[in-house]
Amino acid sequence: MNAVVERFLQYLLHERNLSWRTVGLYRRDLSQWEQSLASGGRQLDVASVTTGDIRAWLMERSDQGDGPGTLRHKVQALRALYRYLLRRGEVSGNPASHVELAKLPKPLPKFVRETTVDAVIDADIDQDDFTQVRDRLVVMLFYETGIRLSELIGLQDAAVDTARGELKVRGKRDKDRIVPFGRELATSIDRYRALRAEVRPECGNLLVTLKGKPLYPSLVYRVVHDSLAQAGATGKLSPHVLRHTFASVMLNHGAGLNSVKELLGHESLAATQVYTHVTLSELQHNYELAHPRALKKGG
């Protein structure tokens, strides 16, 4: 290991108080960098390294299978090394500062399969039990309108018209939007309202607790999680996952991207486009399950 690099690693360990594990990752990346130069017949001369040298090394590492996260860490290790050397006047510039960090792929939104949510909505419940009727209504509202958790909690009773099949949502930045819904949800809301009259709510919210107070986030999370878990769902089971599910189901069944954007209350189409990747992956999954030759290997 080059003496300059070794001194930098000791600085991280003893002056910056980084853990042995973290310093070990820096050592790995900088050692690979030094070995790459050596394989090209060069010694590590920190003052002569160029941005082009670093880019060429990253391309080499990418060809060897390093992913975006690993490549980002290598650039960050070199940037940190040169910042250290700049502060000590040992170099005149930081060649790694001009290298763009590799972009990390955005994780696809999590969603629940239609059959799972159908099992929750179609399950037998006591239609005279306020809590059971309300809890199923919570799941239905998320799944059938795509509203956010904050929007559901703040949904006013007067903003929900079951005759017209519309609800008015106060979204982000206090922007209102109208979200349509079907007869099934309207019937469930009417049934819930009949039972809620016995609770005598103290507020104007559509959804309330047994004491007549507005719902709160942890209660809604628990309702969604428990309802989906009982239907056999696994993984992250949250209100936002049901919002994702609404979007992917709408697109899977032919809704236009702009329509889904308006229903979700997104400011830009880019925020909605992520769901096209979900629907494509779902379509591919269904194709592989359904088509008899989909998984046959080529000859």
User: Is residue 172 annotated as a catalytic residue, yes or no?
Assistant: yes
Query: Catalytic residue among 79, 134, 136, 243, which?
Result: 243
Distant-in-sequence contacts of 42-49, Cβ < 8 A, 24+ apart = 44/2, 44/4, 44/5, 46/2, 46/4, 46/81, 46/82, 46/85, 46/90, 46/91, 47/90, 47/91, 47/92, 49/95
pLDDT score for 255: 85
pTM of the model: 0.63
For residues 27 and 50, what is the distance between their CA atoms, to the nearest angstrom? 20
User: Is residue 243 annotated as a catalytic residue, yes or no?
Assistant: yes
Domains in the chain with CATH codes: 3-98 (1.10.150.130), 114-290 (1.10.443.10)
User: Is residue 275 annotated as a catalytic residue, yes or no?
Assistant: yes
Contact 18, 91 (CB under 8 A): no
The average pLDDT across 140-155 equals 95
- 241: buried, middle or exposed (CB in 10 Å: 19+, 13-18, 0-12)? buried
User: Is residue 216 annotated as a catalytic residue, yes or no?
Assistant: no
Tens digit of each residue's pLDDT (9 = 90 or more) over 191-221: 999 999 988 888 999 999 999 999 999 999 9
Q: What is the longest distance spanned by two Cα atoms in the chain?
A: 84
Query: Catalytic residue among 148, 168, 191, 225, which?
Result: 148
Query: Catalytic residue among 82, 84, 143, 275, which?
Result: 275
Tens digit of each residue's pLDDT (9 = 90 or more) over 152-202: 999 999 999 999 999 999 888 788 999 999 999 999 999 999 999 988 888
User: Is residue 177 annotated as a catalytic residue, yes or no?
Assistant: no
Q: Which of 164, 120, 169 is nearest to 143 (CA)?
A: 120
Q: Is the pLDDT of residue 113 over 90?
A: no
Query: Catalytic residue among 172, 236, 277, 291, which?
Result: 172
Tens digit of each residue's pLDDT (9 = 90 or more) over 235-259: 889 999 999 999 988 888 888 888 8
User: Is residue 148 annotated as a catalytic residue, yes or no?
Assistant: yes
